[in-house]
């Protein structure tokens, strides 16, 4: 029995395609082609009933190493802090000012995509510095 499993991370959200495309830009992931018979995702959504438009979206790591991300529309908005969040590992192996500069550069790029910078958590005796952020719908994630 293999201990390695494929998995996907599922996000509940209001606008699945918008959130998915944000994460594509963050992680270098790719959106799938539109369903067969449709030239674009907009064309596909226009063919659906209003309640079924933009109901879900997904994206995948083009190298097939990272998990698939799946985004599903839910009626309720985000109310509390996420119980699970993604750490975007841009500073792995870096310490001190070099790490902070790398994190800040990525933070600037992601803010331009619609992310929100929440706060910097500076290194202590146990952890290196990271930046707490929110995606385009307020889901927390860390630049680590």
**Predicted pLDDT of residue 81:** 83
Average confidence (pLDDT) over 30-43: 94
Give the pLDDT confidence of 52-80 residue by residue, as tens digits: 989 999 999 999 999 999 999 998 888 88
**Predicted pLDDT of residue 82:** 83
pLDDT surpassing 90 at residue 83: no
Q: What is the pTM of this model?
A: 0.88
Higher-pLDDT residue of 79, 134: 134
Domains of the chain (ranges, CATH numbers): 8-73 (3.30.720), 86-143 (no CATH)
Average confidence (pLDDT) over 15-26: 96
Q: What is the DSSP annotation of 71-131?
A: EEE-SSPP-S--SS-EEE-SSTT--HHHHHHHHHHHHHHHHHTT-EEEEEE---SS---EE
- Return d(Cα 7, Cα 5) in angstroms, integer: 6
**Predicted pLDDT of residue 126:** 87
Average confidence (pLDDT) over 111-125: 95
């Amino acid at each position: 029995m293999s201990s390695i499993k494929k998995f996907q991370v599922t996000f509940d959200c209001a606008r699945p395609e918008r959130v998915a495309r944000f994460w594509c830009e963050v992680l270098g992931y790719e959106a799938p082609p539109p369903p067969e018979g449709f030239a674009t995702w907009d064309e596909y959504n226009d063919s659906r009933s209003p309640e079924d438009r933009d109901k879900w979206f997904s994206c995948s790591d083009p190298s097939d190493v990272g998990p698939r991300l799946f985004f599903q529309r839910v009626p309720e908005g985000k109310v509390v802090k996420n119980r699970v969040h993604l750490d975007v590992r841009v500073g792995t192996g870096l310490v001190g000012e070099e790490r902070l500069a790398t994190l800040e550069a990525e933070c600037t790029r992601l803010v331009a995509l619609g992310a929100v910078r929440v706060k910097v958590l500076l290194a202590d005796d146990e952890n290196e510095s990271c930046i707490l952020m929110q995606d385009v719908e307020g889901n927390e994630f860390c630049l680590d």
